[in-house]
Amino acid sequence: MANEVCLRNNDLERPWLLEQYQSRGGYEQLKRILAGEITPAQVIDEVKAANLRGRGGAGFPTGMKWSFISREAPGQKYVVCNSDEGEPGTFKDRDILRYNPHQLIEGMIIAGYAIGATRGYNYIRGEFWEPYMRFQGAIDEAREAGLLGENILGSGFDFDLHVHLGGGAYVCGEETALLESIEGKKGQPRFKPPFPAHFGLYGRPTIINNTESLCSIPVIIEKGGKWFSEIGVANSGGSKLFSISGNINKPGVYEIPMGTPFAELLEMAGGMRDGRKCKAVIPGGSSSPVIPGEQMLDLTMDYDSIQGAGSMLGSGAVIVMDDTNCMVRVLERMSYFYYEESCGQCTPCREGTGWLYRVVSRIENGQGRPEDLELLEDVTRKIAGRTICALGDAAAMPVQGMLKHFRDEFEYHIEHKRCKVGA
Amino acid sequence: MGFKNAPMTTVKPVEGKENLFSPEVRAEIDSWIAKYPEQWRQSAVMAALRIVQDANGGYLTEALMDQVAAYLDMPAIAVYEVATFYSMYELKPVGRHKVCVCTNVSCMVNGSDKIVDHMEQKLGIKLGETTEDGRYTLKEVECLGACGGAPMFQIGTKYYENLTPELVDSILDGLE
């Protein structure tokens, strides 16, 4: 059972066109809702029953997030979609924007109806020009067809939708940094609480969800929350898009049920390139701690399974590495990323990410000292949990994961001033 | 609530906005301003900087940033903050073709180092530099979200994936 939700129209020719989307029942759920067949409360109940957890990485239940906003509260409310896909290894939302933009639009309108919001923004990372053009084309088509704008399909419900393009900043994928960015500021995360449900975009109640989460909504309404939930396993409803890349034969985006064994996903992705050994897997984007290949081959792709192995399902970005890769080198590159992308607001992250990068880098370059591994662990403890947003934790966790599972490679580097792998 | 969440309209709106930028650039910026609530012109600052940068051969100057500030009723410092925070804005001249090459993990394990080495040799410049004839700039960037096609780079608005040294040659040689 693959490609049942977000990628369900990928077999069509030019699936991004309105007529193609409608040939598969597109916008029919919106019509049912606007006709009063389904109330806003029922929409939220279905999303809760679907057991849909936020697909951006944090895994917060989507239905619960929506229920924090009172539909009756007066004044402007907003629906914001997070298409600032930047977690290294993740490339699924790009495919949604390119191949199924109308389903995302329908999901956003339904979300707006559920919480009583009349305006939405989709924050698309600035580098995604082709996906942006596709999505904007779909907005224009939908507006032309009376599916967006004032008095949608004569229902009296208004909803308009715009794109906001990012400018190249990983931290803007953090929801409050993203809101700051739409407000025309540096993308520095806000302290929470208050949460966006109470104080969001322009200070108004806002729900902000990942592209994949919102794109799943029309199918959940059509087939029922129970149907969606039962595709997956306990605590991880539905299917999920996995972006799998690395040293494999067929990297790509695969939409498969939650709980699918990793071994099956790897097989779908063509297996290891050149028949090499699966040495290490980053299961949920570069912020999730690495898992040794042998252990990973016994796990299933769902929240509880990956968490049980000390890592996170995150955004479902699976990076597979074979035995030619030096883990010190990999960690050096990852640590550089967080150092580069720290927004600079919180001292532990701004300074700590620099420490992590410099120390890992000197180990990689043969300048490591015996006490460096303890130093690294100490720095991670001084970052994690001490910052406004999760970027600090995201910088600390990969270091902890690498030192836990591949400590010998780091020790070898320090002692012999060269690489154990011989790469 | 102790939160301040008002637009930063601490400056007096500038007269004669019609004298700033070309009519085409103004029209494009206006189309972005229209997407946001009326009192939040500053929400269009990121789009305005991008549009102005593109019209100026790929980079921003202090004078251009000041004009964006005037056009959007923002303090100049708030525009500088945005322009220096986001990596897609350039504050120094760049080549006609800015090659943004990803070296993050998925690209790295697929040989992005070789792609970078190849381009550095071919063009005779290092990452972060521009060729003397002003044709190419090489820029190292973070994950561009196309890891299924690693290694990859972006030139202008276009992604090029599954790069090999031969493919890089044909792409670069095919540009004006």
Q: What share of chain B is helix, strand, coil (3-state, %, to 5)?
A: 45, 10, 45
Q: CB–CB of A221/A288 below 8 Å?
A: no
A282 has a pLDDT exceeding 90? yes
Rg, Å, chain B Cα set: 19
* Chain A contact present for B143, CB below 8 A: yes
Residue B3 pLDDT class (50, 70, 90 cuts): very low
Return the percentage of chain A with pLDDT > 70, whole number.
99
| DSSP-assigned beta bridge partners for residue A317 | A243
Q: How many CB atoms lie within 10 A of CB B18?
A: 8
Which secondary-structure segment (H or E) carries B140?
A: strand B136-141
The structure tokens listed for A310 are: 């000390």
pLDDT of res. B4: 52
Please report which confidence band the pLDDT of residue A406 belongs to, taking 50, 70 and 90 as the band edges.
Answer: very high
Chain B residue with the nearest C-alpha to that of A88: B143
DSSP string covering A127-180, please? T-HHHHHHHHHHHHHHHHTTSSBSSGGGSS--BEEEEEE--S-GGGGSHHHHHH
Q: What are phi and psi of B29, to 5 degrees?
A: -65, -40
pLDDT of B42 over the 70 cut:
yes
Segment A244-265 shows an average pLDDT of: 98
Q: What is the pLDDT of residues A290-336, one digit of tens each?
A: 999 999 999 999 999 999 999 999 999 999 999 999 999 999 999 99
Q: Whole-angstrom Cα distance, residue A182 to residue A80? A: 10
Given a cut of 70, is residue A103 above it in pLDDT?
yes
CA B174 to chain A, closest CA, distance in angstroms equals 20
Instruction: For residue A91, list chain B residues with Cβ-Cβ distance below 8 A.
Output: 145-148
d(CA A224, CA A238) in angstroms, rounded, equals 11
The SS3 assignment for A236 reads strand
Chain A residues inside the 8 Å CB shell of B45 = 184
Check if B2 contacts A (Cβ < 8 Å): no
Strand partners, A119: A78, A160
Mean pLDDT on B95-104: 98
Decide: A243 and A286 in contact? Cβ < 8 Å.
no
CA distance A339 to A289: 17
Coil vs helix vs strand at A292:
strand
Q: Which CATH architecture group holds A18-231?
A: 3-Layer(aba) Sandwich (3.40)
A contact test, residue of B60, B102, B147 with most A CBs within 10 A: B147
Residue A184 in this model has a pLDDT that exceeds 60:
yes
Separation of alpha carbons A138 and A191, rounded Å: 35
CB atoms within 10 A of CB B55: 14
Look at A334 and B105 and tell me if their CB atoms are within 8 Å. Answer: yes
Considering CB atoms only, which of A202, A253, A321 is closest to B37?
Answer: A202
In whole angstroms, give the CA distance from residue B175 to residue B70. Answer: 36
Reference A304, options A236, A255, A365; nearest CA is A236
Tell me which chain A residues have a C-beta less than 8 angstroms from the C-beta of B40: 183-184, 202
B14 — contact with chain A (CB < 8 Å)?
Answer: no
Predicted confidence (pLDDT) per residue in A192-241, tens digit: 999 999 999 999 999 999 999 999 999 999 999 999 999 999 999 999 99
Residue A423 has pLDDT above 80, yes or no: no
CATH for B97-173?
A: 3.40.30.10
User: Is B102 annotated as belonging to a binding site?
Assistant: yes
- The answer to whether the annotation marks B100 as part of a ligand binding site is no
pLDDT tens-digit series, residues B8-37: 655 778 888 888 999 999 999 999 999 999
CATH T-level fold of A239-322: Ubiquitin-like (UB roll) (3.10.20)
State phi, psi for A294 to the nearest 5 degrees: -60, -40
Kindly determine whether residue A337 and residue B143, on different chains, have CB atoms separated by under 8 Å.
Answer: yes
Tell which residue, A31, A418, A41, A48, has the closest CA to residue A222: A31
The reply to whether B116 touches chain A by the CB within 8 Å rule is no
pLDDT grade, residue B5 (50/70/90)? low
* Chain A residues with beta carbon closer than 8 angstroms to that of B44: 184
The pLDDT-based confidence of B176 (bands split at 50, 70, 90) is: confident
Mutate one of A192, A202, A353 to test the B interface: name it (highest B CB count within 10 A). A202
Contact (CB<8Å) B108/A87: no
Residue A370: both structure tokens together: 């015996």
Q: Rounded distance, CA A111 to CA A1, Å?
A: 27
Q: Supply the CATH classification number for the domain A327-415.
A: 1.20.1440.230
Q: Which of A135, A206, A245, A327 to mutate to test the interface with B (most CBs of B within 10 A)?
A: A245
**Where exactly are the structural domains of chain A?**
18-231, 239-322, 327-415
- Reported confidence tier of residue B1, pLDDT bands at 50, 70, 90: very low
Percent of chain B with pLDDT over 70: 94
Separation between Cα atoms, residue A110 and residue B140, nearest integer Å? 40
Interface check for B10 against chain A (CB to CB < 8 A): the answer is: no
Residue A181 structure tokens: 């960015």
Is the distance from CB of A111 to CB of A217 less than 8 angstroms? yes
Fold held by B3-85: Arc Repressor Mutant, subunit A (1.10.10)
Task: Spell out the domain ranges in chain B.
Answer: 3-85, 97-173
Chain A interface disruption, residue of B42, B85, B158, most A CBs within 10 A = B85
Percent of chain A residues topping a pLDDT of 90? 97
**Which secondary-structure segment (H or E) carries A295?**
helix A293-296
What is the predicted pLDDT for the residue at B13?
80
Average pLDDT over residues A285-290: 96
ipTM attached to this prediction: 0.95
Of A130, A170, A330, the CB nearest to B142: A170
Nearest Cα neighbor of A291 from A389, A404, A188 is A404
Residue B94, chain A, CB below 8 Å: the answer is: no
Q: Which long-range contacts (CB under 8 A, 24 or more apart) does B163-171 make?
A: B163/B115, B165/B114, B165/B115, B165/B118, B168/B115, B168/B118, B168/B119, B168/B122, B169/B122
Cβ of B145 and A91 within 8 Å?
A: yes
> What mean pLDDT, rounded, does chain A reach?
96
Residue pLDDT, tens place only, A343-386: 999 999 999 999 999 999 999 999 999 999 999 999 999 999 99
